[in-house]
């Protein structure tokens, strides 16, 4: 269990013995710490110590939770207006009015900047999703030409696309790969984020695209361009801002275009104001908790029971038959709450409506807490619309049904359990992160309607949950250690009491996160600024396996030491990915699959090696070179290719000379050039060997013919 660190007392070091003693409530030790003065006031200290200890504990918890709290903010992007040819762009859209309108505005704006635009118009199949076969046919018809500078998808702009936008984006990536169309992919949405106080989220389904974007960036960095959210109606000014974002050199990958200009997304610390009142959220009536018999729901239910909530309605797919449901009911009843545990599939709108109708009149529904979720993780290439729909049913459709069925009720709170994965994104979570980002967007949408909503993007809660042991270990490894559930529920109480719409609450080792994902989103975190200062001072932070760019380190070594150094670095990364205690446990000649690698860990290793080397490496790296030894050999060939053989280099230079001498030259210049060639050829002869016979007396044409014939240049 994660324990809060002691808070720093005013004017004292965090490890001050006085506050350590107070925190333990050890009166005798406190008296000894204070010396003779402590002996004199021993009795008084005994009376005040419990109050001091309580204050210190509360301050420690406050400090811990404050360190977890973050929020999304938006920063203006300095626009660089550039002219001239800006390459070739592929613009993918449907014939929907909104998508077609933006397509026309963006085409004009790109062409004004000198870009060539190739449109691809696709239709929607039965069920509302983009026709995959039609998409493939459309890409087959794309005219050949120079490589694409970028691909811009407007598929999520359709007014009727709904939740299909998630599967549409995955299908688009697959179709681009199969057609061999390269170029960074930008995904556009409309009114899916709140980048300013006057913004209204009218299309929360666009949140699915924003959640997917972070996963594509982590899993397919060579494919990724970015995300751009557009205003509801196209106009020339906004289209110009959009093109500036697409063509900009600032490296921003998450942009909201507004009439004032493009805005970039940032994650910032958000400690609770020091003068905020103590939060003890105790809603009246009935509180409904989805996933109520699961780990997260049970933690929340316990806190609410302690706060005196009259009636808890805990629902899950198995209800009273869920493991531990009976024990949980008894525990909550002992705390004084009336408890109903019911079986209900929140994806079944009619069943959920029927359940809500059973809420007792004496305890009307006053709050909804949606913690329910399922996992079906996999790399993007493995996702199907069926797998996506299976995950959407619980988290996304369940949230929509709760929103629609309760919007006419006087709720005091509507709480959505989102995830940090929907904000930052992780490889392999293309079927999980989008739904969480949707919940964030839904909270913004509800607020725009004047309805209560709080969505919290949680980090890793300690203990059991929907994530397995391997996933939990991956979170730790990538910079997200577990949070104490008790402290997390306190953060929840505060967020709801303060009327927060969206908050990120995560325990994070930000330097470790930044080492894995140096995203623009994280650039304004204090830890990122500290890294930048150290880098500017020439003191870039070292990772466990890297003290600088691996290529520079290898080039600085004698040739005989390069492979052992590369082997050591690669083995260290493999050990980290597999969770080994040391690199000595890595078997050089044993296959990666046999050593425990999965598709997800293969991508993680590829990403680590990309950061280590600076080289562009394929996602199939581990499967193309299936043992550590083969991988090291491949990396050495990529990073330190064999120098060009001397003979080839000489022939190439002589070929250049022949080409130059074939051009008209002034007689004096030609004589001087040929004279120097004769001296070079004399010097190139082996020691003791006579110069080629007759070379001194050869004519200019004969000399050039000799060079061509003897050195193999035609």
Q: What is the pLDDT of residues 23-37, one digit of tens each?
A: 666 666 655 666 665
Q: Which pLDDT score is estimated for 640?
A: 84
Domains 77-269 and 286-508 share a fold: yes
- CATH T-level fold of 550-639: 1.10.1200
Mean pLDDT for the stretch of residues 407-433: 95
Q: pTM of the entire structure?
A: 0.81
Give the model's pLDDT for residue 619: 78
Q: Where are the domains of the chain?
A: 17-68, 77-269, 286-508, 511-541, 550-639, 646-710
Which CATH number fits the domain 286-508, given the four candidates 1.10.3720.10, 3.20.20.70, 3.30.2010.30, 3.40.50.720?
3.40.50.720
Give me 126's structure tokens. 């039965």
Q: In degrees rounded to 5, what are phi and psi of residue 504?
A: -105, 125
- Percent residues over pLDDT 90 in the chain: 54
Asked if pLDDT for residue 219 goes beyond 80, the answer is: yes
Integer Cα distance of 162 and 150 in angstroms: 25
**pLDDT band (50, 70, 90) for residue 545:** very low
Least confident stretch, 10-14, 74-78, 707-711: 10-14
Model confidence at 714, pLDDT cuts 50, 70, 90, reads very low
What gap in Å lies between CA 677 and CA 421, rounded to an integer? 67
Per-residue confidence at 274, pLDDT binned at 50, 70, 90? confident
Residues 6+ apart with CB under 8 A from 31: 38, 39, 42, 45
Query: Could you give the CA distance from residue 567 to residue 586 in angstroms, rounded to a whole number?
Result: 11
Mean pLDDT, rounded, for 138-166: 91
Report pLDDT for 547. Answer: 37
Greatest alpha-carbon pair distance for the chain in Å reads 118
How many residues are there in the chain?
A: 714
pLDDT band at 21; cut points 50, 70, 90? low
**pLDDT single digits (tens) 375-386:** 898 899 999 999
Mean pLDDT across 508-523: 90
Residue 562 has pLDDT above 60, yes or no: yes
| 464 vs 273 pLDDT, higher one | 273
The Cα 120–Cα 349 span in angstroms is: 37
Average pLDDT over residues 704-709: 54
Q: Is 552 helix (H, G, I), strand (E, B) or coil?
A: helix
Q: Using 50, 70 and 90 to split pLDDT, how confident is the model at 648?
A: low
Topology classification of domain 77-269:
Rossmann fold (3.40.50)
The residue-averaged pLDDT of 458-479 equals 77
């Amino acid at each position: 269990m994660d324990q809060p660190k002691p808070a720093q007392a005013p004017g004292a070091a965090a490890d001050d013995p006085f506050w350590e003693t107070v925190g333990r409530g050890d009166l005798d030790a406190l008296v000894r710490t204070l010396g003779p003065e402590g002996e004199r006031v021993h009795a008084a200290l005994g009376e005040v110590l419990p109050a001091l200890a309580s204050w210190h504990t509360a301050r420690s918890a406050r400090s811990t939770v404050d360190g977890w709290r973050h929020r999304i903010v938006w920063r203006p992007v300095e626009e660089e207006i550039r002219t001239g040819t800006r390459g070739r762009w592929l613009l993918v859209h449907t014939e929907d009015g909104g998508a077609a309108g933006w397509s026309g505005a963006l085409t004009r704006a790109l062409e004004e900047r000198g870009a060539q635009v190739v449109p691809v118009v696709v239709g929607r199949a039965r069920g509302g999703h983009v026709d995959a076969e039609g998409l493939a046919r459309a890409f087959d018809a794309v005219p050949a030409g120079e490589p694409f500078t970028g691909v811009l998808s407007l598929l999520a702009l359709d007014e009727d696309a709904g939740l299909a936008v998630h599967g549409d984006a995955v299908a688009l990536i697959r179709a681009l790969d199969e057609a061999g169309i390269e170029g960074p992919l930008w995904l556009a949405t409309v009114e899916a984020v709140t980048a300013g106080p006057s913004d209204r989220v009218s299309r929360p389904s666009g949140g699915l695209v924003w959640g997917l974007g972070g996963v594509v960036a982590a899993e397919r960095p060579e494919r990724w361009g970015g995300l751009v959210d557009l205003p509801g109606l196209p106009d020339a000014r906004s289209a110009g801002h959009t093109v500036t974002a697409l063509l900009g050199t600032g490296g921003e990958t998450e942009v909201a275009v507004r009439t004032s200009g493009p805005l970039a997304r940032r994650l910032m610390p958000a400690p609770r104001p020091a003068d905020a009142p103590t939060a003890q959220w105790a809603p009246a009536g009935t509180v409904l908790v989805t996933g109520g018999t699961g780990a997260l729901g049970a933690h929340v239910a316990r806190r609410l029971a302690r706060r005196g909530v009259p009636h808890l309605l805990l629902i899950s797919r198995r209800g009273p038959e869920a493991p531990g449901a009976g024990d949980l009911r008894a525990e909550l009843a002992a705390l004084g709450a009336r408890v109903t545990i019911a079986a209900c599939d929140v994806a079944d709108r009619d069943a959920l409506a029927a359940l809500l109708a059973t809420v007792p009149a004496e305890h009307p529904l006053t709050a909804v807490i949606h913690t329910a979720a399922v996992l079906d993780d996999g790399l993007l290439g493995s996702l199907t619309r069926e797998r996506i729909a299976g995950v959407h049913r619980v988290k996304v459709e369940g949230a929509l049904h709760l929103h629609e069925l309760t919007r006419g009720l006087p709720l005091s709170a509507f709480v959505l359990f989102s995830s940090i994965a929907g904000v930052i994104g992780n490889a392999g979570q293309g079927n999980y992160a989008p739904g969480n980002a949707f919940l964030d967007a839904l909270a913004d949408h509800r607020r725009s309607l004047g309805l209560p909503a709080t969505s919290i993007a949680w980090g890793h809660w300690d203990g059991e949950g929907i994530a397995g042991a391997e996933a939990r270990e991956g979170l730790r490894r990538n910079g997200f250690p577990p949070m104490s559930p008790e402290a997390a529920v306190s953060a929840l109480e505060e967020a709801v009491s303060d009327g927060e719409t969206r908050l990120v609450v995560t325990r994070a080792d930000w330097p470790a996160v930044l080492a894995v994902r140096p995203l623009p989103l994280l650039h304004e975190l204090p830890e990122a600024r500290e890294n930048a200062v150290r880098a500017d001072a020439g003191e870039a932070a070292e990772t466990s396996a890297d003290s600088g760019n691996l290529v520079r380190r290898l080039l600085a070594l004698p040739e005989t030491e390069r492979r052992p150094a590369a082997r050591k670095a690669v083995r260290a990364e493999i050990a980290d990915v597999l969770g080994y205690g040391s690199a000595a446990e890595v078997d050089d000649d044993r296959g990666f699959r046999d050593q425990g690698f999965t598709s997800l860990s293969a991508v993680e290793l590829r990403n680590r090696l990309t950061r280590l080397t600076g080289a562009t490496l394929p996602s199939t790296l581990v499967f193309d070179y299936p043992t550590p030894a083969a991988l090291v050999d491949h990396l050495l060939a990529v990073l330190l290719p064999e120098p060009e053989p001397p003979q080839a280099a000489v022939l190439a230079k002589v070929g250049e000379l022949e080409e130059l001498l074939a051009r008209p030259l002034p007689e004096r210049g030609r004589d001087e050039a040929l004279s120097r060639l004769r001296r070079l050829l004399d010097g190139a002869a082996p020691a003791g060997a006579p110069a080629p016979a007759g070379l001194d007396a050869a004519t200019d044409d004969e000399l050039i013919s000799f060079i061509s014939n003897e050195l193999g240049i035609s």
